Amino acid sequence: MRNTKRYPVEGPNALWQIYKTVNKWKSVRNFIFIQVARYSPSLKFKNWIYRKVLKMKVGDHTAFALMVMVDVFFPEKISVGRNSIIGYNTTILAHEYLVKEYRLGEVNIGSHVMIGANTTILPGVTIGDHAVVGAGSVVNKDVPPYTFVAGNPAQRIKTVEPENKD
């Protein structure tokens, strides 16, 4: 399913304890830079923020559309290969805070991947090279390379025909 590490908590729910797990000032800084990137029309500037400020791994020519929301608390756990497109208003999460635990997981999006608008990608998911994720999908498990998935939860629709393999 998803490759996440679980951290149990005692007392109030895990979200009430968030600043025990992530630095408050890191969160504020990340939030500000993510908001700037979300509204910026410059793909180069967005990628600079993601790489240099948020410490994400972002490949050459990858395009984050307007309003993409990357994980505020753990953006460094997100990597995207080269020449991929992350569609409008997509959310990429590397954490989930639950009542009795929180979970962290790396998100790996391959090269030449197309993520449709308004998609949610959950922690611990790998999306293989040349995969396509339909708009509005919730990706809750790994997507193999050259696969088209869509829906909530995302389900395999068909194999994507390679245009030319690298």
Distance CA 153, CA 64 (A): 22
State the Rg of the chain over Cα.
Answer: 16
**Among the options 61, 95, 112, 130, which is catalytic?**
95
**What does each C-alpha distance from 137 to 63, 106, 113, 121, 122 come to in angstroms?**
19, 19, 14, 8, 11
The full DSSP string for 90-108 is -EE-SEEE-SSEEEE--EE
Known active-site residue 95:
yes
Q: What are 128's two structure tokens?
A: 């293989």
Strands 101-104 and 95-97: antiparallel
Provide the annotated active-site residues.
95
